[in-house]
Amino acid sequence: MQSLTNRAKPVDRRPMTFAEKLYLPAIAKGMGITLKHLFKKKATVNYPEETRPFSPVFRGLHILNRDEMGRERCTACGLCAVACPAEAITMEAAERLPGEEHLYREEKYAARYEINMLRCIFCGFCEEACPKQAVYMSETFAPANYQRKGFIYGKEDMLIPHPQKQIKENNQ
Amino acid sequence: MEFTIDWYFIIEKLLLISAVLGISLVVAMYSTWGERKVAAWIQDRRGPNRAGPFGLLQPLADGGKLFFKEEIIPSSANRFLFIMGPSLAMFTACLTSAVIPWGDTLTIAGREVSLQIADINIGVLWIMMVVGMGVYGIMIGGWASNNKFSLLAACRGASQVISYELPMGLALIALFMISGSLSLKDIVEQQREGVWFVLLQPIGFLIFLICSFAETNRTPFDLPEAENELNGGYHLEYSSMKLGFYLFAEYINMFISSVLMATLYFGGYAFPFMDKLGIDGNWLTVLGIGALFLKTLFFIFFFMWVRWTIPRFRYDQLMKLGWKVLIPLALLNMLITGAWILFRENGFNF
């Protein structure tokens, strides 16, 4: 029969010689192999202290983006919710009132924007669907909570910090 | 007639006993840590490193966990024997260290203090006796659990220890033919003056080494435990600190076996050129203790190294090795040793 790879070895069914029956040389050989492994570089990454580098297209937890003046970009069009195959996104739209121009970029905004992280499959379709570049996926990836309701992320969990306010707070 | 009690002697012995017991327990405790580290390193992992620096507090965490776990005694088990099993295992494990010379004498305030709890002239016989009793912990625990796997493990443990005590004893007889004494102190002193007995008894040492693996129930001879066929064997029904006692007893046994190998075959507290260093008294004794512990640590490491290299034997292979290989080999070794002694003393003039 033709072998699939060139690494195939025929099975040796000859009876063991006396040297092989002693077992001790074979055991010594095995001990040598384990001793070599004792000093090898460890494969483990010390997780919380060290993290494995992600590729630039990694899809982690979502963030909601602001524009350069700190206004929310989301206009609650609902395209992300439509694109979502896991139906993890819900939102409620509201109209921007006069005097709120510094808070919201568009005339319509999301009063409530929730993503259920237990439903989310991190496919990234929401990111692709968004016409306003409002939703992005970050590199954080391990949400942890004691209750299910803790996994429903609201606006306050996902909105990135206000760029100008953040600078002020850092200077203080 | 008036009895005078030498109070210093009693205090000295009590201190020594507590020290030896404490050291055995601490070494056993850190052997669990060492075991996990060695296992991890051999498998290219890091091992415990969360509790304290390098995971050094891990044994404390494990012990604390075992103490707080729920204590379960199966309703069909024999309560008295069920509790006696682990107690006996622990008791016999701690008993062996009494006759081991941990060092030469220390001179404290004009008193010569021997670092051996009891220098009895049948030292090695005592050890064989205690090791033989050690299997009762496994047998009683396995039987009292009233579980078929535990019972099988108890049977295995008993026959394994009996089978391997024979070649062990025969290997030791060849050693005593050279030393002419059963006292461990004498054996060490002879090696201090002459050469280490491993050079005179290489086959004897090999047999003793293999038998110690079997006696301490360590891989490749951990058939009473056999987690994948007997589900943990004799300690299957045990929980909480009673399980801890069994595991702990195994590590103490391992420590004592290592000390014994170092003492009988590798010079104990004696190391080469120790009498030519130009120091004597207490410092030399301290160095000697250091040498003994270094040898012991190597053997403990060796036990672990073998555990993570060699798979477990099948039961028939174990019996075959014990009865068909080791016993004839030990007898042959005895014969050669006897012939060699006769030849050295008399030449060919029989």
**For chain B, percent of residues with pLDDT exceeding 70:** 98
Domain of residue A151, CATH code: 3.30.70.3270
Residues on chain B bordering chain A, Cβ-to-Cβ distance under 8 angstroms: 38, 41-46, 49, 305-306, 308-310
Query: Binning pLDDT at 50, 70 and 90, where does residue A167 land?
Result: low
Residue A172 reports pLDDT greater than 80: no
Read off the pLDDT of residues B167-225 as tens digits, 9 standing for 90 and up: 998 998 988 888 888 888 888 888 888 888 888 888 889 999 998 888 888 878 888 77
**Residue B302 C-alpha, separation from nearest chain A C-alpha, in angstroms:** 10
A108 assigned to some structural domain: yes
The residues with which A152 forms a beta bridge, in sequence order, are A116
Residue B230 reports pLDDT greater than 80: no
The per-residue b/e assignment along A53-68, b for 16 or more CB within 10 angstroms, e otherwise, is eeeeeebebbbbbbee
Q: What pLDDT, on a 0 to 100 scale, did the predictor assign at position B349?
A: 62
Is the CB of B46 less than 8 angstroms away from the CB of A37?
A: no
Q: Which residues of B touch A42 (CB under 8 A)?
A: 41, 44-46
ipTM above 0.90, yes or no: no
Any alpha helices (H) in chain A, and if so which ranges?
18-21, 24-38, 79-83, 125-129, 155-158, 163-171
Residue B310 reports pLDDT greater than 80: yes
Lowest mean pLDDT segment, chosen from A158-167, B154-163, B217-226: A158-167
Residue B283 reports pLDDT greater than 90: no
Q: Which residues of B touch A18 (CB under 8 A)?
A: none
Q: Which residues of B touch A44 (CB under 8 A)?
A: 44-46
Query: Binning pLDDT at 50, 70 and 90, where does residue B332 land?
Result: very high
Q: In the structure encoding, which two tokens stand for residue B139, read together?
A: 């047998």
Residue A16 touches partner B, C-beta closer than 8 Å: no
Does B220 sit behind a cis peptide bond, omega within 30 degrees of 0 on the bond before it?
yes
Q: What pLDDT, on a 0 to 100 scale, did the predictor assign at position B1?
A: 58
Read off the pLDDT of residues B103-122 as tens digits, 9 standing for 90 and up: 777 777 777 777 778 778 88
CB pairs < 8 Å spanning A and B: 34
**Residue A33 C-alpha, separation from nearest chain B C-alpha, in angstroms:** 9
Task: Suggest the residue from A21, A31, A39 to mutate for an interface test with chain B (most B CBs closer than 10 A).
Answer: A31
Domain count, chain A: 1
Residue ranges with strand state E in chain B: 105-108, 111-114
A153 assigned to some structural domain: yes
Give chain A's mean pLDDT.
86
Is the CB of B43 less than 8 angstroms away from the CB of A37?
A: yes
Task: Suggest the residue from A21, A39, A44 to mutate for an interface test with chain B (most B CBs closer than 10 A).
Answer: A44
Q: Which residues of B touch A38 (CB under 8 A)?
A: 38, 41-42
Nearest to A38 among B42, B49, B310 (CB): B42
State mean pLDDT over B53-73.
Answer: 87
> Residue A97: which domain range?
62-163
Is the CB of B41 less than 8 angstroms away from the CB of A38?
A: yes
Q: What pLDDT, on a 0 to 100 scale, did the predictor assign at position A121?
A: 92
Nearest to A31 among B38, B43, B309 (CB): B309
Q: Are A130 and A65 in contact (CB under 8 A)?
A: no
State mean pLDDT over A57-64.
Answer: 89
**Residue A43 C-alpha, separation from nearest chain B C-alpha, in angstroms:** 6
Any alpha helices (H) in B69-111, and if so which ranges?
79-95
Is the CB of B46 less than 8 angstroms away from the CB of A40?
A: no
A43 assigned to some structural domain: no
Is the CB of B44 less than 8 angstroms away from the CB of A43?
A: yes
Domain boundaries, chain B: 7-346
Is the CB of B310 less than 8 angstroms away from the CB of A30?
A: yes
Q: What pLDDT, on a 0 to 100 scale, did the predictor assign at position B270?
A: 80
Q: What pLDDT, on a 0 to 100 scale, did the predictor assign at position A169?
A: 64
Residue B348 reports pLDDT greater than 70: no
Residue A35 touches partner B, C-beta closer than 8 Å: yes
Q: What pLDDT, on a 0 to 100 scale, did the predictor assign at position B2?
A: 67
Residue B274 reports pLDDT greater than 80: no
A21 assigned to some structural domain: no
Q: What pLDDT, on a 0 to 100 scale, did the predictor assign at position A54?
A: 86
Q: Are B255 and B292 in contact (CB under 8 A)?
A: no
State the burial class of residue B236 (Cβ atoms within 10 Å of its Cβ: 0-12, 13-18, 19+): buried
Is the CB of A31 less than 8 angstroms away from the CB of B42?
A: no
Q: Whole-angstrom Cα distance, residue B290 to residue B133?
A: 30
Residue A27 touches partner B, C-beta closer than 8 Å: yes
Report residue A146: phi and psi, to 5°.
-85, -25
Lowest mean pLDDT segment, chosen from B6-10, B154-158, B188-192, B273-277: B273-277
Q: How far, CA to CA in Å, does B315 sit from each of A148, B227, B253, B258?
A: 51, 14, 22, 25
**Residue B134: closest CA among B194, B188, B214, B62:** B214
A117 assigned to some structural domain: yes
Residue A28 touches partner B, C-beta closer than 8 Å: no
Is the CB of B46 less than 8 angstroms away from the CB of A38?
A: no
Q: What pLDDT, on a 0 to 100 scale, did the predictor assign at position A89?
A: 92
Q: Which residue of B has its CA nearest to A49?
A: B50
Q: Which residues of A touch B44 (CB under 8 A)?
A: 37, 40-44
Q: What pLDDT, on a 0 to 100 scale, did the predictor assign at position B10?
A: 84
A24 assigned to some structural domain: no
